[in-house]
Structure 1
Amino acid sequence: MTSPTDSSKPLIMLVGMGDLVAKVLTMLLSDPATNRIVLAGRDTETIRRRGNLALFTATNLGHHGTVDTVHVDLRDVDATAQTLAQVRPDIIFMGGSLQSWRVITALPKEIFDELDEAQFGPWLPMHLTLNLLLMQAVRESGVDAKVVNAAFPDAVGPVLDKVGLAPTIGVGNVANIVPALTLGAAHLLDADPADVELRLTAQHYFSHYVPRFGDAGRGAYHLGVRVAGRPAEVDHAALFAQLDNRLKRLGGVDGQLLTASSAVRVLHGMATDSGVLAHAPAPNGLPGGYPVRVHQDGAVLDLPEGLGSDEAIRLNEECQRADGIDRIGEDGTVYFAEPEMAIMKRLLGYECPSMKLGDVAEWADELDAKYRVFAARFA
Structure 2
Amino acid sequence: MGKPTLLIVSMGELGTSFLEAVARTEIFETIVVGSRDLTKAQQRANNALIGAGLEGYFPQITAEHLDVAGPDFATKLKAINPDYIFSAPSLLPWWKVDDSKVQLPFAGYMALHLSLMAIFRDKIEAAGTDAFWIGASFPDVINAVLNRTGFGPDCGIGNVQEPVAKIQSGIGKTLRCNPQDVRVQLVAQHAFEYFVLGDATNNDLPPYLMKVMVGDRNVTDLANHVLRTPFPFPYDLSFNRVTASAGVSAMRALTSPTQTPVHLPGIGPLIGGYPVMASSADIEIDLPPEWSMEQAIAINEASLKWDGIDAVEPDGTVHYSHKTREALHQLLGQRIETLSIATAEAQAKALLSAL
Match of 1:377 in 2: none
Query: 1:238 & 1:97 partners in 2: Cα distance?
Result: 36
Residue 355 of structure 1 is aligned with which of 339, 342, 349? 339
3-state secondary structure, aligned to 2:225: helix
- Equivalent pair of 1:283/1:298 in contact (CA under 8 Å): no
Which one-letter code corresponds to 1:331 in the other structure? D
Query: 1:302 & 1:280 partners in 2: Cα distance?
Result: 11
- Equivalent pair of 1:21/1:95 in contact (CA under 8 Å): yes
1:248 Cα deviation from its structure 2 partner = 2.3
Residue 17 of structure 2 is aligned with which of 23, 27, 44? 23
3-state secondary structure, aligned to 1:278: strand
Which one-letter code corresponds to 1:31 in the other structure? T
- Equivalent pair of 2:155/2:264 in contact (CA under 8 Å): yes
- Equivalent pair of 1:167/1:284 in contact (CA under 8 Å): yes
Match of 2:212 in 1: 225
Seen in structure 2, the aligned counterparts of structure 1 residues 233 and 176 have a Cα distance that, compared at 3 Å, is: closer
Query: 1:356 & 1:19 partners in 2: Cα distance?
Result: 26
Match of 2:130 in 1: 144
Match of 1:61 in 2: 55
Point out the structure with the larger helix share: 1
Give 5+ residue unaligned stretches, structure 2: none
The alignment of Structure 1 onto Structure 2 pairs a total of residues equal to 354
Q: Per-residue CA shift, 1:317-349, capped at 9, x if unaligned?
A: 000122111112232221111123313333554
Seen in structure 2, the aligned counterparts of structure 1 residues 350 and 75 have a Cα distance that, compared at 3 Å, is: farther
Match of 1:89 in 2: 82
Residue 235 of structure 2 is aligned with which of 232, 236, 251? 251
Query: 2:334 & 2:175 partners in 1: Cα distance?
Result: 47
Seen in structure 2, the aligned counterparts of structure 1 residues 129 and 183 have a Cα distance that, compared at 3 Å, is: same
Seen in structure 2, the aligned counterparts of structure 1 residues 238 and 268 have a Cα distance that, compared at 3 Å, is: closer
3-state secondary structure, aligned to 1:280: strand
Seen in structure 2, the aligned counterparts of structure 1 residues 229 and 38 have a Cα distance that, compared at 3 Å, is: farther
Residue 308 of structure 2 is aligned with which of 316, 320, 324? 324
Which one-letter code corresponds to 1:214 in the other structure? T
Which one-letter code corresponds to 2:286 in the other structure? D
Query: 2:196 & 2:147 partners in 1: Cα distance?
Result: 28
Query: 1:172 & 1:84 partners in 2: Cα distance?
Result: 25
3-state secondary structure, aligned to 1:326: strand
Match of 2:93 in 1: 100
Match of 1:80 in 2: 73
- Equivalent pair of 1:153/1:171 in contact (CA under 8 Å): yes
Deviates more, 1:205-214 or 1:89-98: 205-214
3-state secondary structure, aligned to 1:130: helix
Q: Per-residue CA shift, 1:112-135, capped at 9, x if unaligned?
A: 6xx2xx431121111112211111
Seen in structure 2, the aligned counterparts of structure 1 residues 277 and 325 have a Cα distance that, compared at 3 Å, is: same
Seen in structure 2, the aligned counterparts of structure 1 residues 130 and 61 have a Cα distance that, compared at 3 Å, is: same
| TM-score, scaled to structure 2 | 0.93
Percent identical pairs in the alignment equals 27
Q: Per-residue CA shift, 1:234-254, capped at 9, x if unaligned?
A: 156632332x2xx32322101
1:177-216 to structure 2, matched below 5 A, reads 177-212=163-198, 213-215=200-202
- Equivalent pair of 1:168/1:298 in contact (CA under 8 Å): no
Give 5+ residue unaligned stretches, structure 1: 1-6, 372-379
1:190 Cα deviation from its structure 2 partner = 5.0
1:342 aligns with 2:326: yes
1:258 Cα deviation from its structure 2 partner = 0.8
3-state secondary structure, aligned to 2:275: strand
Match of 2:107 in 1: 121
3-state secondary structure, aligned to 1:169: coil
3-state secondary structure, aligned to 2:204: coil
Query: 1:309 & 1:86 partners in 2: Cα distance?
Result: 39
Deviates more, 1:142-151 or 1:327-336: 327-336
